[in-house]
Amino acid sequence: MKALCVLSIVVAFGGWSGIAAGADPATKGEAAEHAPDNTGRNVRDRGDTVTSGDQSESKADRTTTQKIRQAVVADDSLSMMAHNVKIITVDGGVTLRGPVKTDGERTTIGAMAEQVAGAGKVQNQLEVAPPK
């Protein structure tokens, strides 16, 4: 009987889709005004930019990425933001991408990557995030 009542109310007020759309705070008011706009970043990442989807599946490249990730995560002096940077290895070359809190973190992670991959094989594209 309860299920029938709920179903009747849902149908009377426009079905499930009406409830779901009305309940989504991102579609109304202040939330919609402050929704993130990644248009600039998306435009920047088109073309020849290396992204995580370009990660090589070769054993050597996966091992390189794994060793760098382990070094980054093991360093407790780095922020959570720094622990989550993208590390992409293709044909022995490493690309580092994403935000970090300080220039020191950017330098530290770059040095870790060079220690594993070798000098001259790392493109450090890490960005220092503006303070909030």
Q: Based on the structure, what is the number of domains in the chain?
A: 2
Lookup: tokens for 36: 């993130």
Distance between start and end Cα atoms, the chain: 53
Reported as a pLDDT band with limits 50, 70 and 90, residue 18 is very low
* Whole-prediction pTM: 0.64
Question: Rounded to an integer, what distance in angstroms lies between the CA atom of residue 99 and that of residue 58?
Answer: 27
Q: Are both 107 and 59 inside the same structural domain? A: yes
Q: Are both 29 and 57 inside the same structural domain? A: no
Per-state percent for the chain, helix, strand, coil, to nearest 5: 55, 15, 30
Give the range of the structural domain holding residue 14, as residue numbers without chain letter: 2-33
Q: Are both 8 and 68 inside the same structural domain? A: no
In sequence order, the β-bridge partners of residue 125 are 97
Interval 62-119: pLDDT, tens = 999 999 999 999 999 999 999 999 999 999 999 999 999 999 999 999 999 999 999 9
Q: Is residue 44 part of a domain?
A: no
